[in-house]
Structure 1
Amino acid sequence: MIRTLAVAVAAGLAAAPLHAAEGGPILSGEHANFSRLVVRIDPTTEWSLETTDGRVTLFIPGKEIAFDAARVFEKIPRTRIGAVTTAIGPEGTSVAVDLTCDCRVSTLFVKGRHLALDVSDRDAVLPAPESLPAPETAEARDLRETAAVEAAEQILLRQIERAAGQGLIELADAGPPAPPQAEAETGADAAAEAESEPAEAPPALPDPAPPARPESDAAPTLPVALTARGVPEAADLAALLEHEQIQATTVFDRERAKALAEMAEPEVAVECLPDDAMDIARWSDGRPPFEQIVDLSSHLLGEFDAPDPATLARLIRIDIRFGLGTEAEATLASFPQDFENRALLLDLARAVEGRPLLPDGPLSAAESCPGAHGLWSAIAGSGPALPDAEHFETIHAAFAELPPDLRALVGPALVARLLDAGRTEAARLIQDTTTRPETAQTSALTIVGARLAAAEGDPQAGIHALSALIEADAAAAPEALVHLARLAADAGLPLPDRHVTDLRAAALQARGAARAADLRLLLAESLAVRGELPDAIAEIRSALIDLPRDPRFAELAVTLLAAADPERVGHAAYAETVLASTTLVSADPASDPARRAIARRLLDLGLPQGAREMIEPAAAREGEAARLLLAESWLRSRESARARDILAGIEGPEAARLTAEALALDGDFAEAGAVLREAGLPEAADDYAWSSGDWPRARDEAAPDPERHAMAEFMVAQTEPEEARPASPDPSTLDAEEAFVEPLPGLERPSLDAARRLLATGRQVEDFVQALLAETPPGGAPAAN
């Protein structure tokens, strides 16, 4: 019974496939001319790649694999890939990739467990096809299959021992020994194999036909797969265990695999190449390039037109030395013979012209290496431009050792990468090293020089240099125009009409191309900087129709609406454009700052209803700043009750000020002043002293203003009688304030003197009162002078 159970367990385990941990976060990486997405799936997992208009879908049938695309865009922009979504359904798992460019998509497996999707530009060169291997001989196939079977046997035995040690199966007692012949043939090999590690199995080939077997009525004791491979039949479990063909996965193994899957897999260190392998300055013997190329070409082919590897390598190096990367790559493609550093020379041939590297080249790994390796990785865009200060010293030293003409060729690309990384000082060092021997000024040097000047705080100088380049060099004009528009937009400087026209024409000419979206984004931003907000929003609306899957246009619309200045755009144009563009501002929390800025400007323009419609989605999320703006919009509509309901529970000076306005709108001026004083705003509270009749406070508050002070003094005297002041000898000499408080003459005994005094003070008092009334707005506190 035990023996039968053990055989059943072993056979069942043999049929179970081994799966590596799958799923998890979708990794991403950005390269010069391609963007890469990496998903983890087992190499044996079935998958397909479906391509439709603007979308690529990786479909894995029959499996539920949890992929996480939340952090895809932390390391890549949305220039080629607009969105990545995952879904699990009854038919399987899918990963959909929305493309924002007319790009080529290719796949490859990395390290045997990661499937990489490369979205590359159409002009990126594909890897040269590898030559087919020589046909396998029968003897080589036998050796390979024997090694595979023996390796599988050892793996199986270890797995069964582990399962037995953990109590999952019970091994039977040792049965009768194997036949002597089999023991003699396999004993030595098994002992030797036990001392060595199992060899990596080569690609599987069809199983050979089963050998002829004598007819027998006995039931087979080995799995059919073992018999089909010609392994001698075993009489019992002990013989079966000598042929490992299964893997036992226990509960301990399963939990350990889960824990390992949650841990970050350490990156495999990339070997940094020595500087001698890229000592380009010594690749030329000093003669003109065409003489060296002709000389080497004449000695390239030998007997039977077979190329000499050493001469071929020297010819490739000469092409690279003088910047002929395309010619070097074409020569490599024409002669597939292998030689030392062939892959490195292919990478250098592409890097020297600024073209993207092949994914598996020695310079393509994004690792931090010093010296020449780090230099060419930085130039090619596969490695960091400035990994750290120590490495950059060696990178700069390697750059300084390049010949001047080669520095002028590759220097602009390195300066541009450093500027993109925000390393202005390092970019200046490379730029000065490039132009140190008074190298002829090329278009590329002018462009990066302009960018560098802007990064150092002088955008006007950069814009002037690029404008001159546009006028003088038609070939470089499109690229210079893009950089000029970018510098002007970043500095808030309006483009001249002619450059806006050129930019509009370039965007129209590029429709359907990968760079069309970038040009249209730049055009919209340039129009907004000029104060032409309606035209900028119109351009964005048109682009949203043509490129609906590019999220950058909607994001730019929100940015431009939030940053627009009504004084520059014009009050009417601003209000009309903003009120017609509310649908462009998403209801997501990320748009709340923009909603607050737009609502503030609409309130300042006297458009409370438009401000209210803009701010209500943000206020619904309980944001205090948004609720304050919403309350203010109701106040401007004279809806004090609604404003007070919104302000309930909000503390702070602004909330107190708005609450006081709501109370004053209802006529409760005394409570309005009390709210402000409680909030620590006594000066603001004093403004309501006039309207509430708090004359002592009004008198103290209006001390700097003679007219208001006199009025307050008079009212205090009326409510709090004091000792009567003596009459002035000559009322005609009194100023307005003194005349206002001058005691009236007694009229119980009329006299000419009393009449004269009354007329003299009356003229002053009338002017005084008229001035006070003119300064007091209806229904509110008196306006301060």
Structure 2
Amino acid sequence: MMRQLVPAVALIAALDLMLYSRPALGETVRIRSGEHAGFSRIVLDLTKPTEWRLGRTEEGYELRLDGPDIVFDTERVFHMIPRDRIADLSAIGDGGLALRLGCACHARAFLTERGALVIDVADGEATSDSPFERAVRRSAPGRSSAETARALTPSFRPALPLAGAVFDERLKLPIVVPERDQGQLASVWKAAEPHSSRREDGDAKFAAAAPNATAMGPVENAFGAGGNRHMSAEEDRSLLLPRLPDPSVTQAQSELLRQLSRAASQGLLEVELERDRLPRDPSAAVDVGLPAGEPAKPVHPAIRAETSIDRDMLSAMTRTPMTAEGGHCRPDEDFDISGWGDARPAAVQIAERRQPLVGEFDRADLDAVLDLARLYLFLGFGAEARAVISAFDSTANHLAPIAAMSAILDDRALDPSSDLFVMTGCDTAAALWAVLAWPVLPAAAEVNESALLRSFSALPIHLRRQLGPGLSRRLLDTGRGTAARSVRDAIARAAGDVGTAVGMIEAGIDYSSGDAESAEARLDALARSNDPMAVDALILTIRSRLERGASVPDDLIESAEALAFERQDGADGPALSQLQILARGASGELDRALADLRRWTESESSERQTETTAQLFVALGESEDEADFLRLYFANRDLLDRAAPDTTLRSELAERLAEAGFGREASALLKGEAALSERGRRILARAAIAGFDPAEAIDRLDGLQGEDVASIRARALALAGDHRSAASALAAIGDQQAAGRAAWRGGDWKRASAHAPEVMREAIAAFDLVPSSSGEPEAPPGPLAAGQSLIADSRNMRSKLEALLKVTEPAGD
């Protein structure tokens, strides 16, 4: 951090200005901000209870706090929020703050438990009964805060200097001088004050601003004309020394000096002493203490001084924990699981906690119920903790965390209405348990990683090993790799055997960083073991192989199938069913995979099942065997219909069906948006050709361009009998050989003789289908020569026709 070098003179001047402008100082209200989905939030950290009003103005809203000397610190407001909702914030005096809006928004406000004022500017119109839509009446104009400060700042320069001191006009503070120079001081001071009116005016101002100070006479009345009179100590104290204006000034000065010293110790500034202004004789310094017999009264000056480091640390410590939605965060005490048990044997602790459960008249002691449930959580017994709560019908609000934590320990789903889900951003232990409450942590969730890691490190080691792998998985899934590594370290640094938890977390880190093979090497051995982490390892290793297109070993598929049946009602049952079906499909066992999928989807339908169906039909569409594709597609078409596949999958399957000649099935798959896309129109054109409807095919291609479109259009034209147009379309895209064949079928011998296959060109020449370009006709041969030529031509023609029949394709191609 860059330190500022502050001269001592500047510090003294700053102290003077702050002390004697004290009536103009007021409370500084720091404003924090944050951006959320649908609204922007500002928070005013009020240091004491304050009346407030919020209402509408022409440009937005206006906030009024009860206190004209309030100063708003808006320096960092727009560091955290854009200006699309709150376009500007400006102080308007007399405790007012103007909010200029940049959208069609409305504001709502509320106070937190700690007294902070929260203002949310949300999208849309306000409700008709909103109290914040009433117009604000602006207060009568008055002086600005700067004018008020100048009016209330006393001109503090006494008409007579302190004994042994002079007043520097630039600083308005005394500078101590040796006694031998006091004789010359009077003439210097008198020369510096040529106009008595200025001195008298200053005396009047000082008397008005500091009523406790003693009024002083002119300089010459004290020192005499020559300025050499020596006074007694009694006269010196009673006449020359002014009393402090108010005991609060002394306290304020002490507080400012203490805070400046603290700022210097924190490296925020460095004092550069000017030694020529320090007193050379310490004994000459003046004692300005209160007169004897007047004890100092406790005062509370209207001044507050603190460094930026202390301010931010204090704010972090006293800030009311709140969720991003404005709700309250549960405190650390609700999740202090490490303090709910100890190292004694579990049986001893359970017996100790069970004894006071029921008191006289068989009434349950709710505190004892809570203690026993918390002990079960400390031991990792979630079901037992829930049983205790339900057995004694304990539904109090403070027991809600017990129910949530017990479900998390047993990998059970929480009640969707639980308030724990929204506490991932809290600065308490609630952040840890809120992240664990999500089966899949949303990518956009605001997570307080510092609070999460702090709370996780405070857990007993056995709970760290139990919860660590699941926590690290949630963090890795949302891109928080550094936090996941911190979770691993919190387990690894514990004494003794860390178990398989660290290996599981390291495999997850390898997997998320792209090193799938290293992750699979760690996971395979664990997946084949009887360790409690084996199921998680099995899920991760199969998923890794499927994502990179590798085959899954048969024994792992069989383990997943067995565990899927065993744990079908558990939290990981659906994941195991999905992975074993997809693994069989990827291994080529599509028949069995589709049969397993049908059994899985008979009882219920879920998003995971829909996703599995889509992925399995993608694998079916990529299968090379045409017969297997058609057989399995038509046998399981109902599964596809229930899954409502997306446009891409529909197009893939429809294209393959159209190429196989199943135009009607292809058209049935492409409906709605899929049929209107460019790819869908091409597929429907192929389907029309397969259904021998060239007109429909040509109509589907209207307005489309490209080689694929031209090829399909040529096929439709050929099917309609317009082979010459088909030849022109093929020639336009450069497929000359196909254009030559189409020209052959259309009787365009000239184009066919140029581009058709060689055997066709020879036939055209043999039949003399293209007229010779020679100018002079040949002389007719004689009768014998003509007969011999005819026999030769007949033999030649026969051989050409035989060759032509061998290479000519069916007329439909």
Select the structure of larger CA radius of gyration: 2
- TM category (shorter chain) comes to 0.3 to 0.5
TM-score w.r.t. the length of structure 2 is 0.46
Give the structure, 1 or 2, with the largest relative contact order (CA under 8 Å, sep 6 or more). 1
